[in-house]
Amino acid sequence: MAVWAVGDIQGCYDSFQKLLKKIEFNPKRDTLWLAGDLVNRGDKSLEVLEYLYSIKKSIKVVLGNHDIALIASYYGVKKSNPTIEPILKSPNTKRLIDWLRHQPFLVWDKKLNYIMSHAGISPQFDFKMAVKYASSIENKLQSSNSKSWLNNMLKTGSDIFDNKSSELDRDRYILSSFTRMRFCYDDGRLDFYQKGKPSNSKINKGLKPWFDCPTRRSIGLRVIFGHWSTLGYFYNGDVLALDTGCIWGRELTGARLDTKEPKIIQVKCDKS
């Protein structure tokens, strides 16, 4: 029984299957943790979702920003694009979207000593806060009012968490921190616009990776995340970054979690 975490697939179904073959994944025996952004940009997003739905009892998924964009497109509150149109035109659309929007933003296993979210965990959140706030937006995404809630989430929000702000502003921050953050400032304010890798020029502007924030609260578990293809694979004993840019023709990465240290397996991807 092996437990593997896989970085952003983004519709690269063939590369995903190649990785599963390489790690000898067996859904009857093993478990997959998927770091979000299952769809979009790649040309086989529908095939990815259909396959994951078929093995749903053997996987743990967290939602990424591209998964949220798909759900918003299904509701008509965001424009679609050619790579997700096959999903929206599928006879199984409702079943797949309902399954997707019932996936969490945060999963963890204390025995494995890992916690996973698509973009990471806000420096302002400790473990209990992360669990509480992830649950709060999961409930809203899964509710009968999810369309209206998502429509409000697409508006610009705050870059710092404030319990005194409105509920919608808090939700925008929570959703953005779990699905879109990369850089932050020393006081914990997040920057949702920088997409490049860490550099001296960004450091000179006061920007650093969220996991290097000097005021970051303790989580107590190693954090798995994706979302940051320009950062690529990164592991420092505290955080494990797995988005290695498959969609850009680089690699798709899997990390075995039920070992003392993560065992890394990669496959070369064809640009989709």
pLDDT for the residue numbered 272 = 47
pLDDT for the residue numbered 246 = 96
First to last CA, the chain: 32
Distance, CA of 44 to CA of 82 (rounded, Å): 11
User: For residue 53, with 0-12 CB atoms within 10 Å meaning exposed, 13-18 middle and 19 or more buried, which class applies?
Assistant: middle
Other beta carbons within 10 Å of 55: 15
CA distances from 44 to 38, 60, 65, 72, 241 (A): 10, 20, 18, 19, 24
Tell how strand 251-256 and strand 263-268 pair up.
Answer: antiparallel
Structure tokens at 224: 């798995």
Q: How far is CA 175 from the centre of its chain?
A: 11
Q: CB–CB of 213/188 below 8 Å?
A: yes
Phi, psi of 138 (to 5 degrees): -60, -45
Tally of domains within the chain:
1
pLDDT for the residue numbered 271 = 61
pLDDT for the residue numbered 202 = 84
pLDDT per residue of the chain (272 residues) written in tens, 0 to 9: 999 999 999 999 999 999 999 999 999 999 999 999 999 999 999 999 999 999 999 999 999 999 999 999 999 999 999 999 999 999 999 999 999 999 999 999 999 999 999 999 999 999 999 999 999 999 999 999 999 999 999 988 789 999 899 999 999 999 999 999 999 999 889 998 888 898 888 877 889 999 999 999 999 999 999 999 999 999 999 999 999 999 999 999 999 999 999 999 999 997 64
Query: Which residue, 5, 13, 6, is CA-closest to 40?
Result: 13
Q: Structure pTM?
A: 0.96
Residue-wise pLDDT tens digits, 148-165? 999 999 988 789 999 899
| Bridge partners (DSSP) listed for residue 15 | none
Residue-wise pLDDT tens digits, 210-232? 999 999 999 999 999 999 999 99
pLDDT for the residue numbered 128 = 98
Distance, CA of 130 to CA of 270 (rounded, Å): 36
Distance, CA of 62 to CA of 107 (rounded, Å): 7
| Structural domain harbouring 90 | 3-268
Name the packing angle between helices 45-54 and 13-22 (round to 10°).
Answer: 40
Q: What is the CATH number of the domain that holds 157?
A: 3.60.21.10
Structure tokens at 47: 């095939």
